[in-house]
Amino acid sequence: MPNLPIYLDNSATTPVDPRVVEKMLPWLTSLFGNPASSSHAFGREARAAVEAARGAVARLINAGSQEIIWTSGATESNNLALKGAALAQAARGRHLVSVQTEHNAVLDTLRDLETRGHTVTLLAPQINGLLDLNQFEAALRPDTSVVSVMLVNNEIGVIQDIAAIGAICRARGILLHVDAAQATGKVAIDVKTLPVDLMSLTAHKTYGPKGIGALYVRKGVAALAPQMHGGGHERGMRSGTLATHQIVGMGECFRIAGEEMAVEVPRLRALRDKLHRGLSALDCVRVNGDMQQRIANNLNISVMLPDCDQMIALLTDVAVSSASACMGGGASHVLQALHGGAAAPNAIRITVGRFNTTEEIDFALNYLTQKIRECQARKTAPALA
């Protein structure tokens, strides 16, 4: 019997790998220097650690170290990329294109830009969650300056064809921003060949600490208009004292991800596929999103039964994410977009992680199957006199 509850919500956040914690701890105690203080050994030591971590982050996506800008996380990276690029590119045009299924950190930023005089086109995905490339190309205009499409969707885990999208943008001289928060450690990324100009990254989806992220800014891209001022840190794009311990943690978790992806991804896929086979055997279960163009650890299902939202809300032995309104967060805009704006059916997002075991997956499959069958039984039970 595994320890309960079992954590299967790794797309929300991941536990910090003990190896990452060990690497971070000295920078919270004896190694406390400010990396901007170059006049003494304390600062120089911290600066060296920051640059080593910058190199580790760069290597995971095959970027140059000078192309990595530290931020507080993917939300700040998205804001800096979109606002910074839109303002810097305003002379070219004020039209931006994105997708209805983007993370709110992108959608809300685009809404803010609309209040500043920009126009935004949000494209509907296909039923499988993927973008129709013909529809995308048709949406581009002479005044389109920035496109933003996430690499991996945070709810349904589908992988967009960024190579094709980027090629279309590159041919028209349009900047492409990619939110890759959910992709690192799960999808191979090579910005030397992938036509991407800006890419948002974060540590806490990759077994690192919360509160630290980075923005890849391709060499040759004009400087972004900074969104934080006060010291000119990070090549003038993001001022603020660098959090050395968190940066070291991000560097270490990205280093581990790069070294272990080849083994970890197939293991996660096998665990996910076991859940997929078992739950798909229930005639009331439907999978949301394409199963081929999808990261290895994500399974998003809908339980096609009325009045089972309470069952989903009361799952106690397995920690999963629900996109239904019963969880208090409102209906999933991602699933609504897949279904043409209709109310999304009861949904459960299951995301397997590095520390999940086969025993835990077996328990979770039996547990979820039992709960769904209980919901079915209530539906078919005769009414009491």
So where are the chain's domains? 6-12+261-380, 18-256
With residues binned 3-state (H G I as helix, E B as strand, rest as coil), the percentages for the chain, rounded to 5, are 40, 15, 45
Contacts for 248 with CB less than 8 Å, ≥ 6 apart:
23, 24, 27, 49, 50, 53
What span, in angstroms and rounded, lies between the C-alpha atoms of 350 and 208?
20
Catalytic (active site) residue 326:
yes
What are the pLDDT digits (tens) for 201-246? 999 999 999 999 999 999 999 889 998 888 888 887 898 999 999 9
**What is the pLDDT at residue 328?**
46
CATH of domain 18-256: 3.40.640.10
Q: 9 pLDDT exceeds 90?
A: yes
Lowest mean pLDDT among 145-159, 215-229, 266-280: 215-229
Which long-range CB contacts under 8 A does 280-283 form with residues at least 24 apart?
282/369, 282/372, 282/373, 282/376
Which tokens hold the place of 351?
């995301």
Active-site residue, selected from the candidate residues 253, 284, 308, 326? 326
What span, in angstroms and rounded, lies between the C-alpha atoms of 324 and 112?
26
* pLDDT tier, 337 (very low <50, low <70, confident <90, very high otherwise): very high
What span, in angstroms and rounded, lies between the C-alpha atoms of 160 and 293?
8
Based on DSSP, count helices (H) and strands (E) in the chain, helices before strands. Answer: 10, 13
DSSP bridge partners of 319 = 7
**What is the pLDDT at residue 111?**
98
Residues 247 and 238: beta-carbon distance below 8 Å:
no
Residues 367 and 317: beta-carbon distance below 8 Å:
yes
DSSP helix/strand/coil, 106: helix
What are the pLDDT digits (tens) for 167-186? 999 999 999 999 999 999 99
> Which residues of the chain form beta strands (DSSP E)?
6-7, 68-71, 95-99, 119-123, 144-148, 175-179, 198-202, 213-217, 285-287, 298-303, 318-319, 321-322, 346-351
Q: Which CATH number fits domain 6-12+261-380: 3.90.1150.10, 3.50.50.60, 3.40.50.880, 3.30.310.80?
A: 3.90.1150.10
Q: 325 pLDDT exceeds 50?
A: no
pTM of the model: 0.95
